[in-house]
Amino acid sequence: MQAHAALEYDYSVAKLFTFTTILFGILGMIIGTLIAAQLAFPELNYLLGEYGTFSRLRPLHTNIVIFGFTLSGVFATFYYVAQRVLKVSMAESKFIMFISKLHFWLYFVGALIAVITLLLGYTQAKEYAQFEWPIDIVIVLVWVLWGVAMFGLIGIRREKALYISMWYYIACFLGIAMLYLFNNMSVPTYFASGGLGNILHSVSMYSGTNDALVQWWYGHNAVAFGFTVPIVAMIYYFLPKESGQAIYSYKLSLLSFWGLMFVYLWAGSHHLLWSTVPDWMQTMGSVFSIVLILPSWGSAINMLLTMKGEWNQLTENPLIKFMVLASTFYMLSTLEGPIQAIKSVNAIAHFTDWIPGHVHDGVLGWVVFMIMAALFHMAPRMFKREIYSKKMLEAQFWLQTVAVVLYFTSMWIAGITQGMMWRAVDEYGNLMYSFIDTVTVLHPYYAIRALSGVLYLIGFLMFAYNMYKTMTSSRELSEEPQFRSPMA
Amino acid sequence: MDIRELQGYASFFMTIFLVVMLYWYIIYLYRSEKKGEKDYEKLGNIALDDEIDSKPINSSSVTPSENKEQKK
Ligand code: HEM
């Protein structure tokens, strides 16, 4: 038992991924803010030649925030949470330590190459699956390494029961593995043609409607298994741990888990309403999207009820504030999405700014808030120092909350205005507006969104600074805090 | 019946099947707790009491270091 007493959790890999979360977060949101500004002020497209145009930068934004920022956050929290809920240290297995370090470095190098190729314009032209085939292979390797580390840790665990967060991390792993492989099946044209054209170029193995269906089965479930499932994993660990309150209902968490797994995979065709896919499939996408409210709210309500009797913590502890707001935004966007998936609503909403509006109340309010709160909770435990500044945390919270509200309200108004103008006809059935009429009307809302981007970005830089100071110069802690994270 | 229609029916019946499974699972969860076979709610404590040397809520039979000691 002697060895046990000295045993400690090893956070070296969690720390590495924490750094990349911050790095890719800053990069992705600078680009997000720039493209938001470009939509309001088109002259900004000409700052950097071909590399600075909206069309180059948009996929760069989405891929950096999804595969750079969010995934780094998922990996960072995984390497932290998994050890703790399985009660096993990574230091106990040299093999797992090696694999997880390899996981990090391959991920990091792969991500840099991915950014460069996108900037140079190499793309499969499938949303969220733009990377060309050599990068896909690297991504598959990275994913396999993560799986080995994950199941390795599970294999040597002391805690026999898998905590609910682990279920969600496993689902994230399996879900993305399946989706990514199927959607990225493609033929490299260079080899198929016996050496013609660019070696990086490839074409999808599916065509036409099938390609669209596979793409949106993937696209929607990338949201499910990248933006929802691992973030739920985080909140199920960090909210109870930070507040000292066990999950309100563990059974409800299990039930919502299976409900989510079962329903999410069928909802993807709501991206293809009114298109050429079979009608029953569109209806199925709509119906499953509505049903999706149940498991989503099941989790969200479970999180809010976890705070039952402890709501005073909401005013006292800014990290609780971040997490409660995150679950509230989760509820908002999982109600908004199903509404947009109703066929008649979708006829107005599709192709309009309401869609990015919906995306961003989810990602800015739910995903980013939860990841930041998780990293703030981890920092005092990983670096053995208290959080540098509570005041800055509070200021950041309000700044970013205002920014999110500005983002989605402006896009709601812009989107619905746009949708109504596009379909408006006069008494003879002629379209009343041309495209440019809508652009003129929408300009102020685009400017508001750009402003909200600036505010949100400033908030994120405050987070980065606060984290940096916490790592380097904050007061040292003599022992690990049990629940509430200490802050100055 | 063409393939599209078949796919539609397959999807419909699979949905019914999965719904039944899900409801069965709810009943299973509550019943096994009522009978005293399982206590799901105590698993919530795994997040709260997560020190490496604290006693597992559900302990696995062999821990890695004990495993090593046994092999010696
Ligand atoms: C400073 C914060 C951000 C700003 C200002 C911003 C801005 C934008 C803009 C202008 C677009 C293009 C919309 C269009 O084509 O009409 C976009 C798309 C997108 N952004 Fe962001 N973004 C930010 C942060 C994020 C974050 C943190 C995430 C994810 C974690 C994210 C995920 C996405 C996604 C998935 C899309 C594609 C939406 C779609 O295809 O409908 N964004 N963003």
Backbone torsions φ then ψ of A311, nearest 5 degrees: -65, -20
Closest approach of chain A CAs to the CA of B52, in angstroms? 5
Token readout for A25 is 């977060």
Show the DSSP H helices in A272-383 as ranges. Answer: 279-291, 293-306, 312-316, 318-341, 343-349, 354-362, 369-383
Asked if the Cβ–Cβ distance from A163 to B53 is below 8 Å, we say no
Query: What burial letters (b/e) apply to A396-428, b meaning 16+ CB within 10 Å?
Result: bbebbbebbebbbbbbbbbbbbbbebbeeeeee
* Dist CA A171 CA A78 (whole Å): 13
* Dist CA A62 CA A39 (whole Å): 16
Q: At what angle do helices A354-362 and A318-341 cross, to 10 degrees?
A: 150
The per-residue pLDDT for B66 is: 44
**Contact by Cβ (8 Å): A299, A345:** no
Average pLDDT, integer, range A41-52: 94
- pLDDT category at A153 given cuts 50, 70, 90 is very high
Give the distance, in angstroms, between the CA of residue A424 and the centroid of all CA atoms in the same chain. Answer: 36
pLDDT tens digits for range A226-281: 999 999 999 999 999 999 999 999 999 999 999 999 899 889 999 999 999 888 88
Backbone torsions φ then ψ of A44, nearest 5 degrees: -70, -5
Quote the ipTM score: 0.83
- pLDDT category at B68 given cuts 50, 70, 90 is very low
- pLDDT category at A1 given cuts 50, 70, 90 is very low
Closest approach of chain A CAs to the CA of B71, in angstroms? 15
The per-residue pLDDT for B61 is: 41
Is the pLDDT reported for residue B69 higher than 60? no
pLDDT tens digits for range B29-42: 999 999 988 889 99
- The ligand 1 atom nearest the CA atom of A223: 35
Token readout for A2 is 């002697």
Minimum CA distance residue for ligand 1 atom 41? A356
Task: For residue B7, list chain A residues with Cβ-Cβ distance below 8 A.
Answer: 278
The per-residue pLDDT for B58 is: 79
The per-residue pLDDT for B35 is: 92
**Contact by Cβ (8 Å): A225, A176:** yes
Backbone torsions φ then ψ of B37, nearest 5 degrees: -80, -35
What integer best gives the mean pLDDT of chain A?
A: 95
- The candidate with the shortest Cα–Cα distance to A74, out of A221, A265, A225, is A225
List the domain boundaries for chain B. Answer: 1-46
- A52 in ligand 1 pocket by Cβ < 6 Å? no
Is the pLDDT reported for residue A458 higher than 80? yes
Matching residue, tokens 């609503």: A345
Q: What percent of chain A has pLDDT over 70?
A: 99
What's this model's pTM, rounded to 2 decimal places?
A: 0.94
Q: Would an 8 Å CB–CB cutoff place B36 in contact with chain A?
A: no
Is the pLDDT reported for residue B60 higher than 90? no
Q: Would an 8 Å CB–CB cutoff place B32 in contact with chain A?
A: no
Residues 6+ apart with CB under 8 A from A420: A348
pLDDT tens digits for range A337-361: 999 999 999 999 999 999 999 999 9
pLDDT tens digits for range A420-446: 999 999 999 999 999 999 999 999 999
B47 vs A3, A85, A249: nearest CB = A85
Asked if the Cβ–Cβ distance from B11 to A3 is below 8 Å, we say no
The per-residue pLDDT for B15 is: 87
* Dist CA B13 CA A280 (whole Å): 14
Q: Which residue segments constitute the domains of chain A, with CATH numbers given?
A: 2-378 (1.20.210.10)
